[in-house]
Amino acid sequence: MIRKLLLILLVALPASARVTVPEGALKGWNVVLITLDATNPKRIATYGGNPAVMPYLDSLAKQSLVMEHAYCTTGSTAPSHATMMTGVLPHRHRVFYNGLPLAPKVWWLPEELQKRGYVTAASTIAFFMGKAYDFDRGWNTFVAATTEQTPIGSNAGARKLFSEPLASLANRKGPFFAWVHLKGGHAPLVPIDKKHLSLFAPNASGDKLPAKYDEELANATERRDVEQKWLKYYDANLHEADVQLKALLDSFRAAGLTKNTLFVILADHGESFDHGILDEHWPSPWESTLRIPMLFYAETPGMPKGRINDRLVMTTDLTPTLLYLLGIKDGPQESDGQNIFGANARQTFNAASASSIAYEDFEVQALKLSSDTSDSAKSTMNKLRFDAGELERTGIFYWAYVKRMPDGHIYKLVHFGSSKKRALAGGPGAVQLYDIGADPAEVRDLVSEQRTIASSLLREARTNLPLFGRLGAVEGMTTANPAAMTQGLDKEAIEKLKALGYLH
C-alpha cells in the first residue's frame, strides 16, 4: 500500500495539493544537508528570478519537492544553522549571534543520529561554527575553516573543504548524515572569476566592486544604480555556487553515495541589497533576508515531486521533518518546529535580528534580578546595564511576524529600529505592514490602509513574542532602577515569557 502511495505522489503535484508522505518513508536512508550561505531565492528562477543565476539548482528543483514559502528565523549564520539542527529557537540553543557556542545540553541532530548508527561527516566555511563553539558534536569527521581562512573566498574552496569528510564515507557501514556548508552568495563578492561575472556584467572588473555611495548624501536614483551594479556581482557569486553545487553532487555520484540518499538544499538566510541597504550581510526583516530556498531532492524513488505552498516552513521545522521521514520518534523534548508533512499546516512564524534576540535575553535576565537586592545581583545588573547600553548604541533591531491567511494572502508585520543612520523604508522604529504576495518588494506599507489587520497582527505578535516592538523597555537596564525593566510588560506578557521558556 505504501509503495502504491509513493508511486502516485511521484507524479507532478497540483499547486494546491497537500503533500503527504508516510512516517518512516525514508527509514534507513542517508541524509545530506547542503547549506548555501546568504542566498536570496528571489534571484533564482525556481522562485521567479533570472534563469542564468543558478540553472543547475533549477534543474534539481524540477525533480524535487520545493518549499515555496520557507523562512529562516534570524538572518545570521551560526544562529540559523543551530536552529536547523536543534529544532529550537535561539533562546533554547543559546546561539544568539555568531561567536557564541551551543548550549551544553541542547539536543543536537548529528549527535543523535550518530548514536543510532549513522556515520556523520561535515565541513563548514565559518570558524565560529567550529570545534571551539561545540558545533563539532556528533560528527565522526568534521572540518571547519580556521580564523585565517574565514571567510573562504569562493564556493570552490568551500567544496574542497568537504573532501576529507566525503572520503570518510567511502567504507562506512550503515547510513550516513553529511553537512556541507557552501559560500553561496556570501561576501566577499570579489574577486570573482570573469566567466561568472561576464554573464551579468560583461565589461565589469572581477577584482573590484563598484564604489559604495555615501548614505547621507546619495539620492534614491544613485542608490538604485549602485544597488543594480552590486546585484550583478551577487548573481555572479550565486552562479559560482551553482557550478560548485553540481560538482558536489557529481562527487557523491562518483563515490556511489546517491542511492537511498535525501539531499536537503537550503540557505541559512538570504541577503539584502534593497531598501537602501548596500552593506553586505546587513541584517534586515525584508524577504530578501528572511525568505530562503529549500528543496528535498532524491535520485531513489521515495520523495514526491512538486511544490508545497499551502503552508509556511521555518528552519526550526527541518529537524522534526527529518526525524519523521527517517522514522525516529525520540526527538528533542522541547521543539519550536513541526513536521512539514503534518496535518496542521504552519500559518505563522516569528523572526528577529541577532540584536533583538540578545535584547530579549537581557530583558529576561533583568526581570529575574529585579527583586534581588544581593551584592552579586547588583553586580550582574550593572553588567547588564553596560551591555544594554552598548547594544542600544550599536544594535540593529527588528521583529517580524508573518501570517498566511485562509485566502492565501501572506502578511508581514515589521517593527524595525536602529541607532545607526540608515536609509530604511518607513524610518527607524516604524511599525509596518506588507502584503508579501501582492507586493513582494515590500515597498507599500499598508498600516494606514489596513488598520484592522495591522492591529490584529500586532496583538498576535505580542502573544507569541511579548517583546515585539517594545524597544523602549531596554532603557530600564541603563537606569538605577531595576524595577523599570517591567514597565511596558503586562502580566500576560510575563506569563508568556515563562511559557516560552524565557523565565523559570
Residues 362 and 320 in one domain: no
Query: Whole domain around residue 370: which residue ranges?
Result: 350-500
Boundary (domain end) residue, out of 342, 360, 394: 342
Tally the domains of the chain: 2
Does 457 or 470 have the greater pLDDT score? 457
**Residue 332, preceding bond cis, omega within 30 degrees?**
no
For residue 469, name the pLDDT band (cuts at 50, 70, 90).
low
327 and 361 share a domain? Answer: no
CA 140 to chain centre: 25
Return all residues near 180 (Cβ < 8 A) that are at least 6 apart: 32, 33, 34, 35, 122, 123, 158, 159, 162, 165, 248
Q: What is the pTM of this model?
A: 0.89
Could you tell me which of 84, 86, 80 has the C-alpha nearest to residue 334? 86
pLDDT computed for residue 85 by the predictor: 97
Q: Are residues 56 and 147 in the same domain?
A: yes
pLDDT band at 10 (very low <50, low <70, confident <90, very high): very low
Asked if residue 372 belongs to a domain, the reply is: yes
- 183 phi, psi to nearest 5 deg: -70, -30
Quick one: 298 and 325 in the same domain? yes
pLDDT score of 486 more than 70: no
Phi-psi region of 316 (alpha: psi -120 to 50; beta: other; left: phi over 0): alpha
Highest mean pLDDT pick, 289-303, 376-390, 421-435, 473-487: 289-303
| pLDDT over 70 (residue 274) | yes
Minimum mean pLDDT range among 34-48, 73-87, 126-140, 488-502: 488-502
486: cell is 517591567
- Count CB atoms within 10 A of the CB of residue 318: 23
286 within domain boundaries: yes
Average pLDDT over residues 264-270: 97
Helix (H) or strand (E) segment spanning residue 119: strand 119-124
Is residue 13 in a domain?
A: no
Query: Distance (Å, rounded) from C-alpha 263 to C-alpha 32?
Result: 5
Report whether 266 contacts 51 (CB < 8 A): no
Give the residue-averaged pLDDT of 206-229.
76
Residues 373 and 422 in one domain: yes
* Residue ending a domain, choose from 342, 375, 397: 342
